[in-house]
Structures are given as structure tokens and as C-alpha cells.
């Protein structure tokens, strides 16, 4: 019986720990327009028009025609035919 009580205590402690982590120090700077905004926000992935590499849009380079590239060098070479 004492083991069950001990186990329940551990479960409650783990729950409190998990809830405390979720609130965390980064919980205050959330914008109201992003309801899904958590620590791991899904990033928009784009494909390099030259080599086909997938990379986050924030790290990609876009040319005047709207194509995305993985690097400045591939942007200079242009999209593959």
C-alpha cells in the first residue's frame, strides 16, 4: 500500500513539473495573432529551384520571379530547367 501512495506522489510531482515547464519563462511574449505559437513553431519550408534542397523560408533566397533558392550562388545560376 505504501508503494502505491509513493507512486501516486511521484506521478503528481511529475505532473506539476510538466505544467511548470510548459508555462516556463517564455510564456509571456506570445502574440495574440498566433494561437499555435509555442516554442517549436512550424516553419514554412521552401524548395531550392536549382538543386531541389528543402530549407526554411527564413534561410532561403528569393529572386524577382518568385523562385526560392538555398544560397546566393544558386540564385545567380537561376532555376533549373
Query: How far apart, in Å, do the first and last CA atoms of the chain sit?
Result: 72
Q: Residue 53: exposed, middle, or buried by beta-carbon count in 10 A (0-12, 13-18, 19+)?
A: middle
Site for Zn ion contains 45 (CB under 5 A): no
Site for Zn ion contains 60 (CB under 5 A): no
Site for Zn ion contains 51 (CB under 5 A): yes
Residue 24 CB, nearest approach to Zn ion (Å): 37
**DSSP 3-state assignment of 42?**
coil
Residue 17 CB, nearest approach to Zn ion (Å): 44
Residues that bind Zn ion (CB under 5 A): 48, 50-51, 53, 70, 74
Amino acid at each position: 500500500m505504501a508503494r502505491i501512495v509513493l507512486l501516486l506522489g511521484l506521478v503528481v510531482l511529475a505532473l506539476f513539473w510538466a505544467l511548470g515547464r510548459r508555462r516556463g519563462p517564455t510564456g509571456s511574449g506570445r502574440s495574440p495573432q498566433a494561437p499555435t505559437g509555442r516554442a517549436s513553431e512550424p516553419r514554412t519550408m521552401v524548395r531550392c529551384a536549382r538543386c531541389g534542397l528543402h530549407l526554411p523560408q527564413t534561410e532561403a533566397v528569393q529572386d524577382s520571379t518568385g523562385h526560392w533558392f538555398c544560397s546566393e550562388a544558386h540564385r545567380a545560376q537561376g532555376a533549373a530547367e
